[in-house]
Structure 1
Amino acid sequence: MSRTTRHLRASRLATAGIAATTATLLAVALSPAAHADPRPTRAAAVENAASALVAHAASLGLTSAQDTNVRDVIVDKDGTQHVRYDRTYRQLPVLGGDFVVHLTPGGDYRGADRATRAEVSVASVTPAVSAPRAADLAANALRAANLGESLKKLNAKPQLVVDALHGTPKLAWRTDAVAQDSLGNPVARTVLTDARTGAQIDAWDSIETAAGDGQSLYGGTVPLETTVSGSTYQLKDPTRGNTYTGDAANKTDLCIFGICISRAPSTVFTDADNHWGTGATADRASAAVDAQYGTDKTWDYYKNVHGRNGIAGDGKGSYNRVHYGNNYNNAFWDDSCFCMTYGDGDGTTFGPLVALDVAGHEMTHGVTSKTAALTYSGESGGLNEATSDILGTMVEWYANNASDQGDYLIGEKIVRSGFGKAALRFMDKPSKDGNSADSWSSSVGNLDVHYSSGVANHFAYLLAEGSGAKTVNGVSYDSPTSNGSTVTGIGRDKVGAIWYRALTVYMTSSTNYAGARTATLNAAKDLYGTGSAEYNAVASAWSAVNVN
């Protein structure tokens, strides 16, 4: 099912428009599965929310200059509905304009969570700074962020937006600057520029990575669902939305003005006897096995645990590219291709980045982009990365693979001697990596998002396992608290349930750590009740990392 889009002008919602949209939505909804489920359909939830937008336009800050687009729909088991919207102002995207409408099982308005409470309005949508000037400023910002690198094929594509993420809404240029480093590997940065003055408002890396997190080829023998094609088999899984894995042939993408005019190949792997790889890097199919297996387990985790059918919730599969670039020490999720990409590592610092928790981490970026869309900067950026660490870790535990057992270490399988540490990140005490924050402070938002994520990672560990020294699944941990308290864990399954619901129902693009506390408390209340042991544990675990 494609994402349903609804345009709303609060002062003039035409009845005919509602009827036409309703007919389209009901046509999609009329399926055997829909009739078998007593809960409201997604289409019904969207229609209920559309009525709520009209009735509550003022409290939601909607005006005749604004339109709304449905981004995601969640219908709880009891029929409670949550419809997430993006907002535009005079046809310009509003960064931080997103909100979630909450409805009762009967479709009545219950409330909303908004990324911003500020009035979304600007004096003019005509910029004083030209698009070419904004592109030059973003290109310079990308160069500055990659000092010491000789960048080539550098391009920047500006888009005029209304920025409501950084205080009073203002007209801005959002520019995606992309280039290749000296090895031909991609670098990218999103730069937000004041369209009146040319001042930089914010900037962040726009390739969402696990910072080298990955796995060598140690997943053991794993089951794979494949597709028969003539006399051969394709590494394509028809049971999981036709997700497949292809060979990038050590090439990279070529992108100009933010548009990829050519991509590294993703030639689907084939095999004659349906026995794939050898478990050694010399066989190119071995990395493909790990990537496909990681995709399978991530799909299964979200579907079987959270009821989410695919990354976008639409049943459609993504795809993987392995052997990307030359000695590329990274892996990334790319929304534009809806795909996962894995480098081979340099062999000294990292091995091939096809680990189980890497797959879970990176594809969770896809889930985040389709739900809360946490901005990849400041505290929301740390929460974006932490979401991938937390739920990627849950994927690893869910898989229950004897060769890669569940733990609270990030990237432990792929680090090599040149890295100098046993893992990329440590959830029980994030500062063990030398950079991450164990607890919140007013300066956390200034850290790289892979390090500011430590606050939420620490919270999640404490909530799952509790504080103090202990051994879990053969790994020793010793988790402190910032306030000297003792935290009793509630188990990782409940942590995953609380975090997923907070992400998909309550968080917005601008959620910070204080907002994450509120969102997870709301999720715990929904799942276990106000005053429950789980609700109180969430509060205690946040206080233990100084989020009060």
Structure 2
Amino acid sequence: MTPRYARHKRTTLAIATSVAAAALLTTGLTSTGAAAKSDPAAGASPMLLSSSARTALIERAAAEAPATAEEIGLGAKEELVVKDVVKDADGSTHTRYERTYAGLPVLGGDLVVHESPKGETEGVTRATKAALKVADLTADITKSAAEKQAVRAAKAEGSTKSAADRAPRKVIWAATGTPKLAYETVVGGFQHDGTPQELHVVTDATTGEKLYEWEAIQTGTGNSQYSGTVTVGTAKSGSTYQLNDTTRGNHKTYNKARATSSSAGTLFTDADDTWGTGTASSSSTSQTAAVDAHYGAQVTWDFYKNVLGRNGIKNNGVAAYSRVHYGNAYVNAFWSDSCFCMTYGDGAGNVKPLTSLDVAGHEMTHGVTSNTAGLNYSGESGGLNEATSDILGTAVEFYAANSKDAGDYLIGEKIDINGDGTPLRYMDKPSKDGASKDYWSSSLGSVDVHYSSGPANHFFYLLSEGSGSKTINGVSYNSPTYNGSTVTGIGRDKAVKIWYKALTSYMTSTTNYKGARTATLNAASALYGSGSTEYNAVASAWSAVNVS
């Protein structure tokens, strides 16, 4: 099936890895939970903060960081660096910190401090419980040796044109096992399918052994769909219009014109503010792919703002940007932190652009994950990273309520990458794609992250819709359970809010499936109360995918 696009019209809006589980550690105080309220969710839901309000919270937390480090029991050589602050409607705050040790960044040292509306510390969520203590901060191997080891690791992954993109930096590796002095090297180049590479390789600074690696370019695929005639934000400059949405953080869409360089490309412009033909074209200047990407970014922005109270990917009111027509017949799309942008290929024959609502939602969510929990893109945490993008990308598709493509729990059903009309992934029964896992097992961390996402996707479907046979928006589902139980769903809206709350308040870079269960139970407790129907449903849904 060759996807085609209905006619699009643009008009200006009026002004127009398998690592240690994250655990909630209560520093001698009560752990975060929901107080008795008539509407618990109203108090624990995140507030939509202005950029200035968020900046003020971060500045205050930074000023208090030394006292916070002492209060939660960090050592004399450890310091906290504020990454983000989330504030709930009842005034509770969740401050996310990176950590340093003797001035060195601690990878896997991130933590979240939870405070009551009165400013009292209620608990700490840590990526690692190991005490930070490194006897010798002098490396036994050189930066050059670490760099060579990292390049070898990249080539072993099948990448091409690999070379150090950033010189090795000395760090403390604390995400797995005993904390160690290490080097982190970022290797650039291209992955085997033409996707740019930003492979982070961590090398033991004493032995030269590779300790860990993860890919920062986070790829995903979704629905190339008929979005119909849509209205999005553009801006007029002189006598021409630009794909520049000034009402949503100045989101812009650029044309890569088949290039694979790191540049943004050329900003799309038009004389009459009517964009695209509604039909996929092999032309590298076609506006149609840009229409879908720009519209997808708009809907994703609105979903995060209106449903989850998040003001852009970084929650600071600033938009990422989109790039289309990347590479030649490139069959993928990816998010990159380094450019803070989404990039889309044109697919097989350059006529199947991977630009759609759930692709935009998927890719932008990688950015949200990076700026919140920072789930390492490897092992179980990598599977949870991918699942988060599938979950919230699916939520974006449902939120759009676009009559040309109703929301569903199928991933990639329109782009036909498999060549037989089947989706890439199924949330109700992930194993139907032939590779994804329905349930957790001890070997899950060794599975590709796009397939180890299966149990989390399955959990989300069960939590939303429940087990068994049913039809939703014309699509038939039949979701099984590991333990033969019957799960009753609580509705997608509540499930989305629980997952997002868990991601932004209780997950860390090293969260694995056991940690995700803890994080979502904490989130359900904060939103709806411990022992509530929603809390019990979260527990049941995890048990149904063998996470208990």
Q: Residues 181, 526 of structure 1: CA spacing in aligned structure 2 closer, same or farther, 3 A cutoff?
A: closer
2:38 corresponds to: none
Alpha-carbon offset, residue 351 of structure 1: 2.1
1:308 corresponds to: 310
1:484 corresponds to: 484
Alpha-carbon offset, residue 249 of structure 1: 1.3
The one-letter code of the counterpart of 1:107 is G
Alignment root-mean-square deviation, CA: 2.2
> What's the secondary structure of 2:313's corresponding residue?
coil
CA–CA distance in structure 2, aligned partners of residues 153 and 204 of structure 1? 15
> What's the secondary structure of 2:330's corresponding residue?
coil
1:22 corresponds to: none
CA–CA distance in structure 1, aligned partners of residues 485 and 535 of structure 2? 17
CA–CA distance in structure 1, aligned partners of residues 105 and 422 of structure 2? 43
> What's the secondary structure of 2:287's corresponding residue?
helix
The one-letter code of the counterpart of 2:186 is D
CA–CA distance in structure 2, aligned partners of residues 164 and 180 of structure 1? 28
The answer to whether the aligner puts 1:109 opposite 2:121 as a matched pair is yes
The answer to whether the aligner puts 1:450 opposite 2:450 as a matched pair is yes
Deviations 1:442-486 (A, max 9, x none): 111111111111110000000000001111110111100000000
Matches within 5 A, 1:220-369: 220-253=228-261, 263-282=262-281, 284-347=286-349, 351-369=352-370
Deviations 1:352-391 (A, max 9, x none): 1112111101100100111110111111111111111101
1:49·1:103 contact (CA, 8 Å) conserved in 2?
Answer: no
Alpha-carbon offset, residue 251 of structure 1: 0.6
CA–CA distance in structure 2, aligned partners of residues 472 and 508 of structure 1? 33
Alpha-carbon offset, residue 217 of structure 1: 5.4
1:347·1:416 contact (CA, 8 Å) conserved in 2?
Answer: no
Q: Residues 399, 456 of structure 1: CA spacing in aligned structure 2 closer, same or farther, 3 A cutoff?
A: same
Q: Which one scores higher on RCO, CA 8 angstroms, separation ≥ 6? A: 2
Alpha-carbon offset, residue 44 of structure 1: 6.3
> What's the secondary structure of 2:504's corresponding residue?
helix
The answer to whether the aligner puts 1:208 opposite 2:250 as a matched pair is no
Deviations 1:82-108 (A, max 9, x none): 111000112211111111111111112
The one-letter code of the counterpart of 1:178 is G
Of 110, 116, 132, the match for 1:98: 110
1:138·1:156 contact (CA, 8 Å) conserved in 2?
Answer: no
Of 117, 120, 130, the match for 2:142: 130
Q: Residues 416, 365 of structure 1: CA spacing in aligned structure 2 closer, same or farther, 3 A cutoff?
A: closer
Q: Residues 458, 184 of structure 1: CA spacing in aligned structure 2 closer, same or farther, 3 A cutoff?
A: closer
The one-letter code of the counterpart of 2:176 is H
1:154 corresponds to: 163
The one-letter code of the counterpart of 1:240 is R
1:435 corresponds to: 435
Alpha-carbon offset, residue 54 of structure 1: 4.8
1:247·1:269 contact (CA, 8 Å) conserved in 2?
Answer: yes
Q: Residues 37, 421 of structure 1: CA spacing in aligned structure 2 closer, same or farther, 3 A cutoff?
A: closer
Count residues with an aligned counterpart.
496
Q: Residues 265, 315 of structure 1: CA spacing in aligned structure 2 closer, same or farther, 3 A cutoff?
A: closer
Alpha-carbon offset, residue 421 of structure 1: 5.6
CA–CA distance in structure 2, aligned partners of residues 505 and 184 of structure 1? 35
The answer to whether the aligner puts 1:170 opposite 2:180 as a matched pair is yes
Of 84, 87, 97, the match for 1:85: 97
1:393 corresponds to: 394
- Percent identity between matched residues is 59
1:198 corresponds to: 208
CA–CA distance in structure 2, aligned partners of residues 494 and 223 of structure 1? 29
Deviations 1:199-239 (A, max 9, x none): 111222321111xx133352211111100111111010000
1:102·1:111 contact (CA, 8 Å) conserved in 2?
Answer: yes
> What's the secondary structure of 1:404's corresponding residue?
coil
Deviations 1:240-280 (A, max 9, x none): 00001010111112xxxxxxxxx234211111111100012
CA–CA distance in structure 1, aligned partners of residues 349 and 73 of structure 2? 53
Alpha-carbon offset, residue 41 of structure 1: 5.0
The one-letter code of the counterpart of 2:329 is N
CA–CA distance in structure 2, aligned partners of residues 460 and 516 of structure 1? 12
CA–CA distance in structure 2, aligned partners of residues 185 and 374 of structure 1? 20
CA–CA distance in structure 1, aligned partners of residues 271 and 153 of structure 2? 49
The one-letter code of the counterpart of 1:127 is A
CA–CA distance in structure 2, aligned partners of residues 183 and 482 of structure 1? 35
CA–CA distance in structure 2, aligned partners of residues 70 and 200 of structure 1? 29
TM-score, normalised via structure 2 length? 0.86
1:23 corresponds to: none
1:6 corresponds to: none
TM-score, normalised via structure 1 length? 0.86
Q: Residues 184, 523 of structure 1: CA spacing in aligned structure 2 closer, same or farther, 3 A cutoff?
A: closer
2:110·2:509 contact (CA, 8 Å) conserved in 1?
Answer: yes
CA–CA distance in structure 1, aligned partners of residues 332 and 72 of structure 2? 41
